[in-house]
Amino acid sequence: MLRPEVLRLCLVALCVACQPQPKVYNVERGRTYAEDKAVVWDGVLGFLQANDITVVSADLATGVIHAERTEYQDAGWADCERARVIDRTSNSRRPRRARPISRDLALEVAVRESAVGAAVQPVARFTEQQHDPWRNLPFTQPCRSTGVLERALLNSLGGMPPPASPAPPEASEP
């Protein structure tokens, strides 16, 4: 016969194990191009303009561009989980999912000189404004990047993505 403490512990472990795991995305963090820094810089600024991403600051001397896009609709750039909110005003706590309102993007792109050309490193941070139906208040929820924006930016500059890691050699019989 199982003791109640052990049974509770087993039930908690089972509940935790059955929770859906967050998706893992392969986000490319940078790429080097055999081009002059100024050419790559202009390509980054052109990509941002074409995608309605506003440049907040750009300094060619430091090689850093800060850009943002506010209140955009989902373009597959980020995975935003809808928060669970609970009605704490009643005796029966009713959980419910928050309603998405809009998404924001804060993008930092570093363009640096390297021995073989110009290295580009985009860092995208996404947030989503969600609405709590119980309190009638908006709040901000962080999101995970899917890598789509970073890949599109790097691909727009020319060149090809780095090759996939080679498959391990198959074992051969002696």
147: left (phi over 0), alpha (psi -120 to 50) or beta: left
Q: Which of 55-59, 73-77, 91-95 has the highest mean pLDDT?
A: 55-59
The pTM of the full predicted model, rounded to 2 decimals, is 0.72
Residues 55-69 pLDDT 10s? 999 999 999 999 999
Residues 77-91 pLDDT 10s? 888 888 877 776 666
Task: State the pLDDT at residue 167.
Answer: 44
Residues 15-24 pLDDT 10s? 555 555 566 6
Phi, psi of 150 (to 5 degrees): -60, -45
